Structure formats: structure tokens, C-alpha cells
């Protein structure tokens, strides 16, 4: 996750962060689809589904997270680099480490745990890793 936090994924510059997430999804063996929300190649949305065995009686779970971060205003007022991705005393520092790159990491960790435990679920899990959670 520290690598993801180091990427300055403000509005209009989301692609690099999403490409990193896409590669992690592929490492986990997830099939995914890419959708774009704007008329550029920065607004990449990644959608993946882990199919369950019984979508009729089992309830599905949808996990959402986004990679965009608030812009850095008045950078000279920051006492530290806002994108260090540095871990100190067990805490990850950097813009977006809480909102919402942590959400992305949690989704990928859930998939990794399910894979390592070789669990088969009755329900579907749909993952939406979006460039921005604001719906236009």
C-alpha cells in the first residue's frame, strides 16, 4: 500500500494508481473489466467479480473503493512531503492512506485471504475500484 500512497492520484491523474491496482488484481488471478468515466484515459475504473456457487439463495457483496485524493493546496505549508508512503511506528503516512487507498488495500487483502484459504463462497463478490467516488 505504501507504493500506492506514493502516487499523486489527484483528479485528472488517476491512471498510474489504477495501473498499479490492475497489476495487483492480475497477480491475484482476478479477471477484470475496465471502464472509463471521462473522455480521457485517466478515469480508469476496474471492476471484477468472484463468482459464487449459489447466487440465488446467497446474498452478494459489493466492495467499493476509490484511488483519487484531494489536491494539495498550499504545498509550502506542509511540514512533510504529502506522498512519502513512509511507515513509522506502525503508521503509514501519506495523502490518501486513509481515504481511500486503504479501502483498495483492504479489498485486495480480502481476495488474497480467500485465495490462500481456498474458500468457495456461495455468494458473488463484486469489486469496484474507481478513479473517483463522486457520481456525475
Provide the CATH number for the domain around residue 91: 3.40.630.10
**Nine cell digits for residue 74:** 498550499
Locus of grid cell 458473488: 124
CA dihedral 108, 113, 116, 121 (to 10 degrees): -100
- Global pTM value: 0.89
Q: What pLDDT score was predicted for residue 81?
A: 85
| Residues forming a β-bridge with 61 | 125
Rounded CA-CA distance 48/44 in Å is: 13
Flag whether 20 is in a domain. Answer: yes
Strand duo 33-36 + 44-50: pairing = antiparallel
Residue 136 lies in a domain: no
| Confidence at residue 56, expressed as pLDDT on a 0 to 100 scale | 83
Q: Smallest Cα–Cα separation from 57: which of 126, 6, 124?
A: 124
Q: What is the pLDDT of residues 53-98, one digit of tens each?
A: 987 888 889 999 999 998 888 878 877 788 888 898 998 888 999 8
Residue 92 to residues 3, 32, 79, 83, Cα–Cα distance (Å): 11, 28, 16, 10
Model pLDDT for residues 1-16, shown as the tens digit of each residue = 899 999 999 988 999 9
Residue 35 belongs to some domain of the structure: yes
Domain count, the chain: 1
User: Is residue 55 domain-resident?
Assistant: yes
CB 116 within 8 Å of CB 51: no
Residue 79 in domain:
no
Domain encompassing residue 10: 2-68+84-130
Amino acid at each position: 500500500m505504501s507504493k500506492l500512497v506514493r502516487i499523486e492520484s489527484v483528479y485528472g491523474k488517476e491512471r498510474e494508481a489504477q495501473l498499479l491496482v490492475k497489476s495487483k488484481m492480475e497477480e491475484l488471478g482476478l479477471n477484470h473489466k475496465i471502464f472509463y468515466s471521462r473522455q480521457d484515459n485517466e478515469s480508469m475504473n476496474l471492476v471484477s467479480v468472484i463468482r459464487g456457487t449459489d447466487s440465488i439463495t446467497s446474498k452478494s457483496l459489493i466492495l467499493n473503493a476509490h484511488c483519487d485524493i484531494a489536491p494539495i493546496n498550499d504545498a509550502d505549508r506542509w511540514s512533510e512531503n504529502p506522498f512519502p508512503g513512509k511507515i513509522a511506528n506502525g503508521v503509514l503516512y501519506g495523502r490518501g492512506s486513509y481515504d481511500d487507498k486503504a479501502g483498495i488495500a483492504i479489498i485486495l487483502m480480502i481476495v488474497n485471504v480467500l485465495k490462500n484459504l481456498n474458500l468457495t463462497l456461495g455468494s458473488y463478490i463484486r469489486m469496484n475500484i474507481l478513479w473517483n467516488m463522486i457520481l456525475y
